[in-house]
Structure 1
């Protein structure tokens, strides 16, 4: 088998295809995982995944794609909602997540928008950026110099 660096990256779909082919050829999951490990190294799917897929292919599964899952997508965040929360926060930085959620009609994902998308954290009852920008640092330096 060729090394992973020589053949480029091997995707999870490629690995699933290989698992399917080798299962149909009659190989055991441990043998399949060992062969994948030689080629993919650390990027290999787990041994339990190989076993699970091998059983499903052996039982007659045809597709290598995941089955559709019920429910809404994990993230309900879009640019419009992030902008709406940012604008609301700009008007009043002491506002709580619950108040933002009620005022904007956005479900309880407001906290994730504030912390992940807007990179804010709560300090002294205010939502602030985690660190100063270069412009803010320069302004502080200028003020400190003037005060001396």
Structure 2
């Protein structure tokens, strides 16, 4: 279930003055594993009581995911294929992105792992 849909259900149940525990039980019985967790159910009505009207996600500040864009992924992939002995730090220094981003690209996106002899 999408977060927006979950917020809509929670907002509806809150207007019916149902307790957090009953909301969670109802959603688990109806939706199963797709239901929102108890902490999310407990947090959303508080936001609605504070005046939040929208069930949509608010825009958040912060950096865009520029280090995992397609061109960066392709660049890291080519660097790794050209020289298998490159370290994460060398790639980081060359591209000017964080070591965590390089590791994410290598392991999660490209599916590469470290193998020992």
Give the shorter-chain TM-score range: 0.7 to 0.9
State the Cα deviation string for residues 87-120 of structure 1 (Å, max 9, x = none). Answer: 1122211111111222233432222222222222
**TM-score of the two chains, using structure 1 as the length reference:** 0.65
State the Cα deviation string for residues 2-47 of structure 1 (Å, max 9, x = none). Answer: xxxxxxxx54322211211221232222222222222101221112
Find out whether 1:115 has 2:111 as its counterpart. Answer: no
* Unaligned runs of at least 5 residues, structure 1: 1-9, 126-148
Q: Distance in 2 between matches of 1:122 and 1:22?
A: 49
Q: Which residue of 2 aligns with 1:29?
A: 20
Q: Which residue of 1 aligns with 2:48?
A: 57
* Unaligned runs of at least 5 residues, structure 2: none
Bigger relative contact order (CA 8 A; separation at least 6):
2
Size of the aligned set, in residue pairs, is: 116
Bigger Cα Rg: 1
